A = this chain, B = another copy of it.
Amino acid sequence: MKIAVDAFGGDNAPEAVVKGCVAAASMCDAEIILVGKEKVIAELLKKEEVPTGKIRIHNAEEIIETGDVPVEAIRRKKDSSLVVALNLVKTGEADAVVSAGNTGAYLAGSFRYLGRMDGVKRPALTTVMPTVGTPSVILDIGANADCRPAQLVQFAQMGAVYAENVLDIKNPRVALLNIGAEEAKGNALTKETHQLLKTAPVNFIGNIEPRDVPYGLADVIVCDGFTGNVVIKLIEGSASALFSMLKEAFYKNIFSKLAAAVLKPGLVKVKRRMDYSEYGGAPFLGIDGVVFKAHGSSDAKAIKNAVIAAARYVETGVNEKIKQSLSLYVAEEVVDDGEL
């Protein structure tokens, strides 16, 4: 198996990416193709102990930056590490691609060079979200700001296959994010989706209320991309705001400072539990290829985890299983009544 990694994507690229790939190389059965400026990568690899025959470099001279306009970047920067890495999957030279770069460009590039999987209405952005309990897969988190019920049902099917195979969660609990536990609650989209999910071939446990999301009461949380994006960014913002208030309280006087010092290891642990990068990355589900996105701020550990997760995704044949699930059941499209 071969995994192409965009060596120049992410805030800590290329150093963290190279380090993460070296670590992953000795932990999984894949050959890693580092894509990007050959000379720079070669220099970085010299400093590492690279397992024989597990890493090679594929040159690409351009870099897509975080601030680049996605569709434009993909069209203009044909020799960027991101586009070249995607094309390695397209031509069959790699089985998967991993990048921590510009999310919009990555998504646009995946659409352009790999396209949708047969039978998929809309691919979805996914993330593995830390919770007080076990992590939850949430989708869509931003690829589709407006969704229709039948699309959400496919998100549920794809998310369940992913959670079961890559995260090792048997018969994952699938929930619909909604404002209220009762099935009659919600907006037009969630009310209709709830009905469709009741007969879909997933372990549908009903609605999950926003208040319960941080407690990990579901393994797969389904929602439209607007709501999903609000959820992950709001959790991030709430945690950061709360920590800033705690810091203020802890640095108030000499006694509180001393006490805070004693508690620091515990606080660091809590912060780490809330940290997305611990889970490495998550796939664009529904793309015709294996496309993993690592968090933009990924360190070497997060990159390592993303590469390992991508290898597991290929190994367990997630995309084949998704195709199978989608072919077995297609939710009826609701007639557009102008309300959704």
Contacts and interface: CB of A to CB of B under 8 A. Distances in A.
Interface residues of A, number: 57
B267 A249 contact: yes
B234 A231 contact: yes
A142 B187 CA distance: 10
A183 B273 CA distance: 34
B263 A242 contact: no
A188 B242 contact: no
Contact of A263 (B179, B238, B263, B274): B263
Interface stretch (A250-258, A278-286, A299-307): A250-258
Contact of A235 (B179, B238, B240): B238
A165 B214 CA distance: 36
A59 interface: no
A104 to B, nearest CB: 10
Given A245-B270, A259-B262, A263-B256, A236 B250 contact: no
A255 B262 contact: yes
Interface in A36-81: none
A186 to B, nearest CB: 6
A27 interface: no
A179 B252 CA distance: 35
A226 B179 contact: yes
A329 interface: no
Interface stretch (A18-26, A88-96, A193-201, A205-213): A205-213
Nearest to A249: B266
Contacts of A255: 262
A269 to B, nearest CB: 6
A240 B236 CA distance: 14
A233 interface: yes
B239 A242 contact: yes
A297 interface: no
Contacts of A339: 146
Contacts of A224: 187
A203 interface: no
A249 B269 contact: yes
Contacts of A209: 233
A241 B145 contact: no
A237 B256 contact: no
A339 B148 CA distance: 10
Nearest to A234: B210
Contacts of A225: 179, 187
Interface in A214-240: 214-215, 224-227, 229-231, 233-240
A177 interface: yes
A241 B338 contact: no
A218 B244 CA distance: 19
Contact of A231 (B230, B236, B240, B267): B230
Interface of A: 131-132, 142, 145-146, 177, 179, 186-188, 190, 209-215, 224-227, 229-231, 233-242, 244-246, 249-250, 252, 255-256, 258-260, 262-263, 266-267, 269-270, 273-274, 336, 338-339
8 contacts: A132-B245, A145-B187, A187-B224, A210-B229, A210-B231, A239-B242, A256-B263, A259-B259
